[in-house]
Amino acid sequence: MGSSESIVKLNVGGTVFVTLKSTLTKHHGIFKALVKTEMPAEDGDSFFIDRSPKHFETVLNYIRSGDVDLPDSENELKELKREAEYYSLEKLATLCQSSMPKIKSYKTADELLNMIANTKKVVVVIHYLAYKNQLHTIPLGFKFSEFVERNKDKAEVFIYEIKDEEELKDKPYVDDPNRVWSFCIFNSEWSENYPLKSLRDIQVQLDCFGDF
């Protein structure tokens, strides 16, 4: 077996993974730099990498084939994305980002406050109307995925269901033209609530947010 096919051992956070040198040189990043420098192994026969081994098998499978089965959990997708960024695997990081759920929600006011406090972006909360598990008075032009993608660099977008079934037993939303969805825009110092008849209503506010 030639030198390009030599076996390399990687000790990732105490777990040893075995692969080929030619595999690690397929993508630009720290692995290619590691094997190209011909550095001696740090613990006798393997290179030590001070990272969690939790997602490393997925990372290694991506390096081998250029494709991989991603986890279903949003939290695990975020963890894998961080590992991909650390290893300078930009395409894997992008794949993780594109696979994350487009629609985010929250259950308590504490969750909302934490979201506002822990992001540099503005937070948009869309309050949607539902009655007996059916959406009502859906805003015009509601292309939600396109809206989230367009504003991904400036806003975190969440949805929250407004429930009012007792009041609406005899008068569903669909029969009440005065009831519409609404949205709030938050940052750490400011918030405002608006009626929502079209996604353009939110876009207009986001586009001029710097004026507030």
Write out the chain's pLDDT in tens, 212 residues: 444 478 889 999 999 999 998 899 888 778 888 777 765 555 557 888 999 999 999 999 999 998 899 987 777 888 999 999 999 999 999 999 888 766 678 888 888 888 888 888 889 998 887 777 777 777 777 777 778 878 888 888 888 887 655 444 444 444 455 567 888 888 766 677 888 888 888 888 888 765 44
Q: How many CA atoms lie within 13 A of 179 on its CB side?
A: 19
Rounded CA gap, 181 and 31, in Å? 50
Q: Output the pTM of the full model.
A: 0.52
State the Cα angle at 148 between 144 and 149, rounded to 5°: 115
Contact 8, 17 (CB under 8 A): no
| Token pair recorded at residue 183 | 């949205």
Rounded CA gap, 107 and 159, in Å? 10
CATH of domain 104-211: 3.40.30.10
CATH 3.30.710.10 residue window(s) in the chain: 3-99
Q: Tell me, which fold does domain 3-99 have in CATH?
A: Potassium Channel Kv1.1; Chain A (3.30.710)
Q: What are phi and psi of 164, to 5 degrees?
A: -150, 50
CATH 3.40.30.10 residue window(s) in the chain: 104-211
Rounded CA gap, 75 and 85, in Å? 15
| Token pair recorded at residue 91 | 């395409």
